[in-house]
Amino acid sequence: GAVVSQHPSRVICKSGTSVKIECRSLDFQATTMFWYRQFPKQSLMLMATSNEGSKATYEQGVEKDKFLINHASLTLSTLTVTSAHPEDSSFYICSAGAHSSTEAFFGQGTRLTVV
């Protein structure tokens, strides 16, 4: 199956700093990628839809200035958590779909801890 690679898998940062998370489709091109957030023992909450070459579409309640998304190529989308606070600590996960399938392929996820 298709592979989506997400990096880093874990990151600890200080309050006020920014953290960048990368999501790469390794063996297919993805015009659209999705970013989710998952709190412990909870479901995946869609944060935004990342569109290659255009602005991301954010879900209601998600601050676009805080969670910057860049989808500069057909294989890479990045999520930058700006001015991180402890409440931003969570599991962030991306997904992408190959053109030939509606199945979503998920990255391994990034566990962010803000101290």
Partner 1 sequence: GQQVMQIPQYQHVQEGEDFTTYCNSSTTLSNIQWYKQRPGGHPVFLIQLVKSGEVKKQKRLTFQFGEAKKNSSLHITATQTTDVGTYFCAGEQGSSNTGKLIFGQGTTLQVKP
Contacts with partner 1 by CB under 8 A lie at 1, 32, 34, 36, 41-46, 49, 60, 93, 95, 97, 102-109
In the bound complex, what is the minimum distance in angstroms from residue 91's beta carbon to partner 1?
9
Between residues 43 and 54, which has the closer beta carbon with respect to partner 1? 43
Nearer CB in complex with partner 1: 61/86: 61
Can you read off the two tokens belonging to residue 57? Answer: 């579409």
C-alpha–C-alpha distance, residues 45 and 48, integer Å:
9
CB 81 within 8 A of CB 18: yes
| Least distance from partner 1 to the Cβ atom of residue 80, Å | 20
Rg (CA), the chain: 13
Cis? peptide before 86, omega within 30° of 0: no
Residue among 9 and 83 whose Cβ is closer to partner 1: 9
